[in-house]
A = this chain, B = another copy of it.
Amino acid sequence: METCYSIYAQIASIPVGYSNPSLLLAATSPEMASSLINRPALGNFPSHDWAEILETGILRVAPKGLNQVFTGTTGSDANELAYKAAFMWKRQQERGGASADFTTEEMSSAMNNQSPGSPALSILSFKSGFHGRLFGSLSTTRSKPIHKLDIPSFNWPQAPFPMLKYPLEAHHSENAAEEARCLAATEEIITTWPLPPAAIVVEPVQSEGGDNHASPAFFQGLRDLTRKHNILMIVDEVQTGVGATGQFWAHDHWNLSHPPDMVTFSKKAQAAGYYYGDAALRPNKPYRQFNTWMGDPARAILFRAIVEEIERLDLVRNTAAVGAYLYEGLQGLQRRFPREIENLRGQGQGLFIAWDSPRRDEVLKLLKTVGVNCGGSGERAVRLRPMLVFQRHHADMFLEALEKVIRS
């Protein structure tokens, strides 16, 4: 058996390496044991240290401009909580503010799953996007039929996501036109869809859907559209967040004029939820946004340890540096084997690198025979999702293994 390592990392969800000693310390602390065996119903009875656990962990890495968090349990759950917040915000505006009471008609129609209580609103997502597999989140997921077949969906709209040509430097004007086309189509849907969107949801890099990137200008364009039409922008950082792209949050690459309204997280955080910055997104009455557990203190304690480990080892800088090194190595392979590595992408995006392969599934299988567990996304992409502790010598090992597979 040769070296066997994972650049898939439990579907991009292991942050700082298996059996990390700092995480082990957190996992074996009395605080952890208590949080496991005395799990509180956080909405009603938060433990005395819950605010501190949040402030020193989850909130310490809150995206710029967002200083509040609502905790959940998984990425799908985080997105659905954000969607619910968006719908409540939108209806509250239409109703005339936080102090306006629900009408009798709203209350009785909601109990029958009818409007106006169950509003005729939607969430706009993008073609090839993936946002989870619960009923609401699945209605925004557009990755593959196998994810959606036989499951009832809301009649929510999808806008096209830019399909960029690579290498980027050779297709500048074509790609700009493609992004402009997608923005125009997005605006068309926002203004005409029979169920008006309360929010758009977008991934910084479409991950399950094939590692599709877009430029900061595209995302700024989306931010402008949402502000123009008074709807919210939810950035789904379930897969991109927590350091993978060479920034703690992938949307930090965009330098938006205004921060997103909400940012969702899960996977590498090992906790889940959504950040927001506007007090108007805080439910105006108790029990509107609520469930029994509302997250998991055990996972929040672990996220705090993950954050500390990322800072201690300067891992965001590491993913940027090793990502650049790995990308360069892949560019070298691409020059030598242009038919095997097409549309190499993710430059400047840390370790969030992918390319298309004409024989993707075979390549993934062969990589396993030389000790590398690697994943795919979309129809033909090979996606790299190493842990944040991935180093130059790991990149060298991977490049060597990949060359061996390509030559075979």
Contacts and interface: CB of A to CB of B under 8 A. Distances in A.
B120 A10 contact: no
Interface size class of A (residues with CB under 8 A): 35 or more
Copies held by the complex:
2
Contact of A113 (B87, B139, B144): B139
A288 B87 CA distance: 28
A39 B13 contact: yes
A147 B117 contact: no
B92 A150 contact: yes
A292 interface: yes
Contacts of A113: 139, 148, 153-156
Contact of A74 (B33, B142, B291): B291
A58 B363 CA distance: 38
A166 B10 CA distance: 54
A134 interface: yes
B39 A23 contact: no
Given A24-B33, A145-B110, A145-B117, A87 B292 contact: no
A173 to B, nearest CB: 30
30 contacts: A10-B44, A11-B41, A20-B37, A23-B37, A24-B33, A27-B32, A28-B33, A36-B298, A39-B270, A77-B77, A88-B150, A88-B151, A91-B150, A92-B150, A102-B149, A106-B145, A113-B154, A113-B155, A113-B156, A117-B148, A118-B151, A118-B152, A119-B150, A121-B152, A134-B134, A135-B135, A135-B139, A135-B154, A144-B287, A266-B292
Interface of A: 10-11, 13-14, 18-20, 23-24, 26-28, 32-34, 36-41, 44-45, 73-77, 80, 83-84, 87-88, 90-92, 102, 106-108, 110-114, 117-122, 132-137, 139, 142, 144-156, 158, 195, 266-267, 270, 285, 287-288, 290-293, 298, 302
